[in-house]
Amino acid sequence: MDKGLTINCTNDTVLRLSPPLIITKQDVDFAIKILEESLKCQTTK
């Protein structure tokens, strides 16, 4: 949530995203960028 995404980790290998009902391609691209950066941070720890 710190970076603006709502994600629920439902088990060890599943992430559940909660996007808005109305979303643009730019919003999706931005969300993917945030998710990629967050995952990179977790894999380097």
DSSP string computed for 8-24: EEEETTEEEE---SS--
Backbone angles phi, psi at 14, to 5 degrees: -125, 130
pLDDT of residue 42: 75
pLDDT of residue 10: 84
Domain boundary assignment for the chain: 7-43
pLDDT confidence band for 1 (50 / 70 / 90): low
Distance CA 17, CA 8 (A): 7
pLDDT of residue 29: 95
**Average pLDDT rounded to a whole number, residues 15-39:** 90
